[in-house]
Structure 1
Amino acid sequence: MNLVSLDIRMLRSLISVVETGSITETARRLGRTQPAITLQLQRLEELAGRALFDPENRRIVLTPDGETVLAYARSILRLHDELLSQLAAPTIEGHVVLGTPDLYAAFMLPSILAIFRRAFPRIQVELNCALSTPLVGLVRRGEVDVALVTRMNDFTGGQVVRQEQLIWMAGERSTAHLEDQVPLALLPPGNIYRDHAIERLEAVHRRWRVACVSASVAGLQAAAFAGMAVTVLGRSALVPSMREIGAPEGFPPLPKVDLLLYKSNTATSKAARALHDYLAHYLSLGEGIGTAGEYPAVASQ
């Protein structure tokens, strides 16, 4: 049997190209030239012995074999990075304050923080749940070390690590969406989730009213569960007893929002940098952003 050895960099490039849909963007993110990324993908196809990309499509579209390789690539990279993280983690300790809205704390971060805790058992993470706008202020004042927030129109700085698709949600048996004047459960004024919901309804001349205002996702969900209102949240928050509604029910499509990762200028400890880089790594497209050799779990390969 002729054993094939796959370069981790090939797998990382494959994942990034599929997620971004762009060789140019992948080259920028991974710090390589476009020809280098193209050669890596060609070499990966040669080693696989089959086509990974559909040659008939001008966009980057995987073949069934490509989908199989992609699934394994993600698993291999996760285990690879976690192993290197475990080897480096015991030397890093400290206390880090992480700020994020409860939406992301509840539905997006638990699995990542669980992995981080296993990898860095001597780092204590203190979670501060608040809305995005005040959190950015806390980061800039040095009261929060790292923050994952939703990008608002007036935000500057931060690193885009993921996009979250907004969707309309209602309780499983709710009929609130059928009301002539749609009752809405919304975040407080100034939040982009709220702004998009209202703008999209008004664009299609759908009447609405505010039935619930809550700074917590739990309050919005409670109103939806009870059949009191329709709400707008990220798709990651779609849970049992809630259902997505959309065009068939007369609700216009909603956009994606950017998730920004901030690190305070005062957060100079290795512990703070480890958490920031780890979150960036797992929340984004899988490419490393750290300094090679210093934080192996997020080092560029």
Structure 2
Amino acid sequence: MIPDLDIALVRTFLAIVDTGGLTSAGRVVGRTQPAVTQQIKRLEDALGRPLFDLDRRHLKLTADGEVFLEYARAIMRLNDEARARFDASEIRGTVTLGVPDLYAAYLLPQLLRRFARAHPHVEIEMRCMRSVHLYEAMLRDELDLVIATLQPDLKTGTVVRREPLTWVAGLHDRPEAEEVVPLAVLPPGSVYRQRALEALGRAGRRWTITSFSESLAGLQAAVFAGLAVSVFPRCAVQPGMRCPGPRDGLPDLPAIELVLHRRPMALSAAAEHLGDFVERELAQVAAFHPTADAGSPSPRAPRAVGRA
């Protein structure tokens, strides 16, 4: 029978996967390269399966390693959540979190649910607006933390996630086949809009803006109605949509980066803990779709203020 897994070995395994090397993983877990190698050998011996190919100079997970990776992330997530819950159970307060409605809907539900379990006395007041407005609101001391799309002219903040962009169209519609591509876009200043127009320009495709909305809901309506093509982050693609690409005459799109900003003034312990949690967890969050999770209500839903 396989013995109980050692959390330290699982943490080292994840450090190797996330950093791509034994030496860099050693820096993360505070061990030498030989010690890291020995830990992985102990983990493989415990599981009775090799997790990495034999060529350690070019680390690559085996098929069993790929399977174990999912379990390892779940183990560490629960371990870290339990530690946070009992190490900091007395943290109290309200945190104002600014985030675009798109990320609030598709990336934050699962993350905030886990944070709420670990910190039941912290109330999150969430305010939704476009990324271009969030940073200014934080500088006015209206927000403690901001999660936003990295703006071309703003290099502050910590990158916490890279999200692929994709073209979206109605499942049974082909607006991209038109000679002049009809677009549904956010207002000027939107990084999604900018990336779409730049890509079409490089590809030599003519375009026209036929639908324009301040919110994702408006863009979704135009897409589902078959009126236009739009650009969404991958996490927001819904049933009833398809993702046209180069085979359909639309160019590839670059990924966007999500950044975390912290208010320049001193933050409360509650805000610092939420910021640290976002930095650690957001990159691994899977997209949330209400139909898939309707039976799993949050233990305490964040209070939304502003445009949802």
Work out whether the TM-score is over 0.5.
yes
Counterpart position of 2:62: 63
- Matched residue, 2:51: 52
**AA of the residue aligned to 1:3:** P
| Consecutive unaligned residues in structure 2, runs of 5 or more | 286-308
How far is 1:126 from its partner? Answer: 0.9
Q: Distance in 2 between matches of 1:285 and 1:104?
A: 14
- Deviations for 1:84-132, whole angstroms, at most 9, x for unmatched residues? 2322343011111100111100100011112222322221111111111
Match of residue 103 from structure 1: 102
Question: Residue 295 of structure 1 corresponds to which residue in structure 2?
Answer: none
Equivalent-residue separation in structure 2 for 1:253 and 1:69 (angstroms): 32
Aligned length: 284
Matches within 5 A, 1:4-153: 4-6=4-6, 8-23=7-22, 26=25, 30=28, 32=30, 35=33, 37-55=36-54, 59-153=58-152
User: TM-score of the superposition, structure 2-length normalised?
Assistant: 0.84
**Cα displacement string for residues 230-261 of structure 1 (whole angstroms, at most 9, x for unaligned residues):** 01111000111111111221111111111101
Cα gap change, 1:285/1:240 in structure 2, threshold over 3 Å: closer, same or farther?
closer
Q: Give 1:26 deviation, angstroms.
A: 4.5
Is the contact between residue 16 and residue 26 of structure 1 (CA under 8 Å) also seen in structure 2? yes
Letter in 2 for 1:151: L
**Quick check: 1:3 aligned with 2:3?**
yes
The structural deviation recorded for 1:202 is 1.2
1:278 shift after superposition: 1.5
Consecutive unaligned residues of structure 1, counting only runs of 5 or more, are 287-301
Q: Is contact 1:95-1:123 (8 Å) kept?
A: yes
Q: Percent identity?
A: 43
Is the Cα contact below 8 Å between 1:15 and 1:285 reproduced in 2? Answer: no
Q: Is contact 1:267–1:273 with CA below 8 Å preserved after alignment?
A: no
CA contact (8 A) 1:98 1:127 kept: yes
Name 1:174's counterpart in structure 2: 173
- Shift of residue 37 of structure 1? 4.5
Partners of 2:270 and 2:135 lie apart in 1 by 20
Contact residue 145 and residue 267 of structure 1 kept, 8 A: no
C-alpha distance 96-2 of structure 1, shift in aligned 2 (>3 A): closer
* Amino acid aligned to 1:181: V
Q: Which moved more, 1:271-280 or 1:44-53?
A: 44-53
RMSD, aligned α-carbons? 2.3
- The reply to whether residue 232 of structure 1 matches residue 222 of structure 2 is no
Q: How does 1:149-298 map to 2 (within 5 A)?
A: 149-284=148-283
For residues 233 and 23 of structure 1, do their structure 2 counterparts lie closer, same or farther at Cα, with a shift above 3 Å needed? farther
User: 8 Å contact 1:54–1:63 — kept in the other structure?
Assistant: yes
* Contact kept in structure 1, 2:177 and 2:249, CA below 8 Å: no
TM-score normalized with structure 1 length: 0.86
1:26–1:128 CA distance, 2 compared to 1 (3 A): farther
State how far apart, in whole Å, the 2-side matches of 1:159 and 1:37 are: 28
Letter in 1 for 2:59: I
Contact conserved, 1:16 with 1:285, CA < 8 A, in 2?
no
The alpha-carbon distance between structure 1 residues 177 and 267, as it changes in their structure 2 partners (threshold 3 A), is farther
